């Protein structure tokens, strides 16, 4: 996850951020309009023709309109309401067996054709250095199709006043419950993406995402101690309906905590967070050692992201990210052996771009491939990676997995993480049942600090809430917990997974990769899961 992008987005820690970094600022009404599909098709055909004439053997055109609104508040104040729009076209070609890319924010026919010709010229110039020509997996054109995130209420159409009132109500609930400070933010994203390719695809997509992070701080002035508890919302591929809580989407958890599935009660969670932040000030410090961990889905998503999602990206495995994000321990020889135990036999981890309400869900990826689900780890064995059109031949496959993405019309699409999730357990098992069997454990809720090495072996994770489990019972809140893992040992220590009634997704708006860096939004689902004998450290220090 990219710390810098989050800081940029919220202005936290960087002082005054005069301008957002996501495009031009627009009035709210602009966020509810669209570019005519017929115009997009005409422009795309212009680019496809220009590329062909220039000598390209393949061409794709992405006409993108990226809209964002974010509302930033603290206590009883609105700090910022910003709407941004970024519109333009990116043209990617293969000429002389080499990729070329050019982009323009000018949506005139001349400019689009010029971008196509530039892309061909760049491909031809770079082809002098090409060692292996691009091998693109064949795909049939899908004709003129469209896909939209199945939302009930477009967040961009909800009046700012209504959204501000909700955030301020959550802040007020936290303050009334004893918080010293509270920050809340609402991010809304709409990607209007048109894709056309020389394969004969014309795909119009309307993608929506929403996220409402809250952070509540409690301070004990006498001791100088402070503790924060972040909200338990997840960024979702949903509309404003996610912010309209429903009873059936709530899950009771230890310490009066409430977990959320397909809708979020921000006011309720802010009040609980305020109470728990104060409780954290007094909670006893953990005794370091080996514990059985019961990891809630609001926590486990980040562990899945770092220890499964990233190491199973094929470009990392091959070394394309060696200078930045790193490589991977899950090397091709382990996959070829067909017996590499990534996890215990209960562990099936799957990738998908179709899961309802997920951040990664689209009808087609950014190279026009119809999206689907596939297994990465099946019954504990490493069986596949995440790969796109110019990579799948390395795996002996003929079809792309459909996980190509670009974060803007102006950036080149490349292999990005699909949603990667842990399949729920097949036998009926609730978190309460799971706890009954744990003698000496810790129940961890919410994501905290995270860090992992460049080959994704050694990781350390914190959390928001930690509850001691003794002899089958949750006893009390504890603090200063972080656990350290070696990825394959950790997943092989998985001893139980709750059933699908407990399944929830978490995710990140800001997964970073590539140079220049691009961000991508991705979800990770799981049910509550148990891992045995994990090393827990105490993170409390004294500054004297």
Partner 1 sequence: MSIYSEQEAKAILDKVIALSKADECTATLGGSVDGNIRYARNAVSTSGIVSDTQLGVQVAFGKRVGIATTNEFDDAALAKVVARAEELAKLAPENPEFMPAIGKQDYTPTRTFIDKTAAITPEYRARVAADSIEPCRKDKLVAAGFLADSHGFQAIANSNGNFAYQKSTNLDFTCTVRTEDGSGSGWVARNVADVERFDAKNEIKIAIDKAKRSRDAKALEPGKYTVIMEPAATAGLISFMMFGFDARQADEGRSFLSKKGGGNKIGEQIYDPRVTIYADPAETGVEVLPWDGEGIARARLPIITKGKVENLRYSRYWAKKQEKQATAMPGNLIMVGGDKSTMDLVKSTRKGILVTRTWYIRMVDPQTVLLTGLTRDGTFYVENGEVKYPIKNFRFNESPIIMLNNIEEIGKPVRVGDDESPFVMMIPPMKLRDFTFTSLSDAV
CA dihedral (162, 164, 167, 168) in degrees, to 10, reads -110
Shortest distance (Å) from residue 517 CB to partner 1: 8
Q: Do the bridges between strand 440-445 and strand 289-295 make them parallel or antiparallel, or are there none, so unpaired?
A: parallel
- Judged by CB under 8 A, does residue 508 bind partner 1? no
Please report which helix (H) or strand (E) contains residue 372, including its range.
Answer: none
Stretch that binds partner 1, among 137-145, 148-156, 326-334, 350-358 (CB under 8 A): 326-334
Please report, as residue ranges, which positions from 512 to 531 form the binding site for partner 1 (by CB under 8 A): 515-517
DSSP state of 542: -
Instruction: Determine which residue in the list 36, 38, 143, 221 makes contact with partner 1, applying CB under 8 A.
Output: 221
Helix (H, G, I), strand (E, B) or coil at 422: strand
User: Which of 497, 154, 126, 526 lies closest to 346 in space, CA to CA?
Assistant: 497
Residues forming a β-bridge with 481: 538
Question: Between residues 221 and 338, which has the closer beta carbon with respect to partner 1?
Answer: 221
The stretch among 109-117, 127-135, 371-379, 438-446 that binds partner 1 (CB under 8 A) is 127-135
Strands 24-25 vs 201-211: parallel, antiparallel or unpaired: unpaired
Residue 252 in the binding site for partner 1 (CB under 8 A): no
Q: Look up tokens 């031009």; give the residue.
A: 24
Binding status of residue 510 toward partner 1 by CB under 8 A: no
What is the smallest separation between the CB atom of 227 and partner 1, expressed in angstroms? 8
**Cis preceding linkage at 536, omega within 30:** no
Q: Which of residues 395-454 bind partner 1 (CB under 8 A)?
A: 410, 412, 449-454
Q: Please, what is the minimum distance in Å from the beta carbon of residue 9 to partner 1?
A: 14
Tell me 129's DSSP state. G
Among 49, 219, 258, 395, binds partner 1 (CB under 8 A): 219
Exactly one of 66, 101, 509, 510 binds partner 1 (CB under 8 A); which one? Answer: 101
With binding defined as CB under 8 A, does residue 143 bind partner 1?
no
Site string for partner 1, 21-50 (x = CB under 8 A): ---xxxxx----------------------
**Contact between 336 and partner 1 per CB under 8 A:** no
- Of the candidate residues 269, 296, 321, 502, the single one contacting partner 1 (CB under 8 A): 321
181 near partner 1, judged by CB under 8 A: yes
Whether 99 contacts 419, CB under 8 Å: no
CB of 460 to partner 1, least distance (A): 5
- Concatenate the DSSP letters of all residues of 469-515 into one string: EETTEEEEEEBSEEEEEEHHHHHHTEEEE--GGG-EEEEEEEEEETT
Distance in angstroms (rounded) separating the CA atoms of residues 200 and 470:
62
The C-alpha R_g of the chain, in whole angstroms, comes to 24
- Binders of partner 1 among residues 340 to 399 (CB under 8 A) are none
Shortest separation between residue 75's beta carbon and partner 1, angstroms: 10
36, 224, 248, 339: residue in contact with partner 1 (rule CB under 8 A): 224
Determine the Cα–Cα distance for residues 291 and 288; give it in Å rounded to an integer.
9
């Amino acid at each position: 996850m990219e710390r810098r992008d989050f800081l940029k987005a919220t202005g936290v820690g960087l002082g005054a951020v005069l301008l957002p970094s996501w495009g031009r600022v627009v009035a709210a009404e602009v966020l509810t309009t669209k570019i005519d599909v017929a115009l997009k098709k005409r422009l795309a055909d212009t680019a496809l023709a220009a590329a062909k004439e220039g000598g390209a053997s393949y061409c794709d055109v992405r006409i993108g309109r990226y809209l964002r609104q974010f509302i930033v508040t603290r206590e009883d104040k609105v700090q910022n309401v910003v709407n941004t729009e970024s519109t333009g076209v990116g043209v990617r070609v293969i000429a002389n067996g080499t990729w070329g890319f050019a982009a323009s924010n000018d949506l005139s026919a001349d400019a689009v054709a010029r971008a196509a010709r530039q892309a061909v010229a760049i491909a031809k110039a770079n082809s002098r250095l090409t060692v292996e020509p691009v091998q693109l997996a064949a795909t049939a054109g899908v004709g003129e199709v469209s896909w939209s995130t199945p939302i009930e209420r477009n967040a961009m159409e909800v009046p700012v006043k209504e959204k501000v009132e909700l955030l301020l109500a959550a802040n007020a609930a936290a303050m009334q419950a004893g918080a010293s400070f509270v920050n809340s933010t609402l991010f809304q994203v709409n990607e209007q993406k048109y894709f056309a390719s020389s394969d004969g695809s014309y795909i119009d997509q309307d993608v929506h995402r929403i996220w409402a992070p809250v952070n509540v701080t409690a301070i004990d002035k006498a001791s100088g101690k402070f503790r924060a508890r972040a909200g338990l919302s997840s960024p979702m591929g949903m509309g404003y309906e996610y912010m309209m809580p429903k009873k059936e989407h709530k899950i009771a958890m230890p310490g009066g905590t409430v977990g959320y599935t397909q809708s979020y009660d921000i006011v309720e969670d802010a009040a609980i967070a305020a109470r728990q932040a104060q409780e954290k000030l007094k909670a006893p410090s953990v005794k370091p050692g080996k514990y059985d961990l019961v990891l809630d889905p609001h926590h486990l998503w980040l562990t899945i992201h770092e220890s499964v999602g990233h190491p199973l990206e094929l470009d990392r495995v091959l070394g394309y990210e060696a200078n930045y994000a790193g490589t991977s321990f899950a090397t091709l020889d382990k996959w070829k052996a067909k017996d590499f135990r990534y996890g215990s036999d209960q562990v099936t981890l799957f990738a998908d771009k179709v899961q309802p309400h997920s951040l990664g869900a689209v009808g087609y990826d950014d190279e026009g491939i119809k999206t689907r689900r596939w297994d990465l780890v099946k019954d504990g064995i490493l069986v596949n990676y995440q790969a796109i059109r110019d990579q799948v031949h390395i795996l002996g496959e003929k079809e792309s997995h459909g996980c190509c993405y670009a974060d803007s019309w102006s950036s080149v699409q490349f292999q990005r993480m699909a949603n990667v999730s842990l399949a729920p357990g097949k036998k009926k098992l609730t978190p309460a049942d799971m706890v009954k069997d744990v003698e000496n454990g810790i129940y961890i809720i919410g994501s905290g600090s995270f860090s992992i090495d460049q080959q994704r072996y050694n990781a350390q994770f914190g959390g928001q809430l930690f509850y001691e489990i003794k002899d089958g019972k949750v006893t009390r809140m504890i603090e200063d917990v972080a656990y350290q893992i070696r990825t394959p040992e950790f997943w092989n220590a998985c001893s139980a997974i709750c059933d699908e009634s407990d399944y929830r997704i978490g995710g990140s708006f800001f997964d970073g990769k590539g140079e220049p860096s691009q961000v991508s939004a991705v979800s990770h689902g799981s049910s509550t899961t148990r891992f045995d004998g994990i090393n827990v450290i105490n993170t409390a220090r004294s500054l004297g």
